[in-house]
Amino acid sequence: MIKRSEKMQYEFDKLLDDLKNENGTAFNELQSIFRQGSCKKGETLIEIHKPCTNLYWITSGIVKQYQDKEDGTRYTKWFVFEGDLLSSPHSFKFGDPSSEGAEALEDCKFMYISRADGDALCEKYGCVNTFFRLLAELYFIEANARVFFMQAYSAKEKYDHIMEHNSHMLLRLPQKEIASFLGIRKETLSRIRKYS
């Protein structure tokens, strides 16, 4: 559940192939406006209370997405690994200050595109506009699956599911981040790990 499923990865790759086959020029221009970036472990990619103007595609490293409660308690919402997209959708779409943040848990490399550059290319090419619309639909499907995963399963069930499907990723995540993601204390996580 943490990492994009094989089906979703296939659909994402297919979107790129379809765009390339439909209009090679538009595909090349889309590639050309993606910029390369990097950040060190602990650095912030998306700041809470500031507009998120970029869509990121993580090529190496791990990023955690988090949100703060009114009392200041911070909760890890999700982990973004290689090959995954990262943004604050509401902020990216409307330009409002982001209610969520994103911090690198490892040194990261990524490609990113600004909202302004994406909009300009969408106006120039209808196929690029379609590409981003379909991409947003895939993002929505993934987000919907995440909500179900977070609401329907207990902390132990979530941990067992991750162990079954993505155990290699747990080796890269600090225990405190896993505990925060599961909504439990580190001591509770230790007990779950002991009996899993």
pLDDT in tens, 144-154: 888 888 889 89
Residue 19 lies in a domain: yes
> DSSP characters for 48-78?
TTSB--EEEEEEES-EEEEEE-TTS-EEEEE
Residue among 17, 19, 37, 39 at smallest CA distance from 29: 19
| Shared-domain flag, residues 83 and 158 | no
Residue among 164, 165, 168 at smallest CA distance from 196: 164
* Total tally of structural domains belonging to the chain: 2
| Shared-domain flag, residues 88 and 45 | yes
| Shared-domain flag, residues 99 and 185 | no
Q: Is the pLDDT of residue 161 over 60?
A: yes
**Rounded to whole angstroms, what are the CA distances from 130 to 27, 150, 169?**
12, 30, 33
| Shared-domain flag, residues 84 and 23 | yes
pLDDT digits (tens, 9 = 90+) for 53-91: 999 999 999 999 999 988 988 888 889 988 888 999 999
Residue 35 and residue 113 in contact, taking contact as beta carbons nearer than 8 Å: yes
| Shared-domain flag, residues 196 and 184 | yes
| Shared-domain flag, residues 112 and 130 | yes
Residue 117 lies in a domain: yes
Residue 194 lies in a domain: yes
Residue 1 lies in a domain: no
| Shared-domain flag, residues 89 and 165 | no
| Shared-domain flag, residues 107 and 78 | yes
Residue 141: give its domain's CATH number. Answer: 2.60.120.10
Residue 82 lies in a domain: yes
Q: What is d(CA 20, CA 23) in angstroms, rounded to the nearest whole number? A: 5
pLDDT value at residue 180: 87
Model pTM score: 0.86
| Shared-domain flag, residues 116 and 172 | no
| Shared-domain flag, residues 83 and 177 | no
Residue 97 lies in a domain: yes
Residue among 19, 21, 57, 17 at smallest CA distance from 38: 57
| Shared-domain flag, residues 110 and 167 | no
Question: For residue 126, is it left (φ>0), alpha (ψ between -120 and 50) or beta?
Answer: alpha
Residue type present at position 114: S
User: Which carries the bigger pLDDT value, residue 137 or residue 170?
Assistant: 137
| Shared-domain flag, residues 129 and 172 | no
Q: Which domain holds residue 166?
A: 154-196
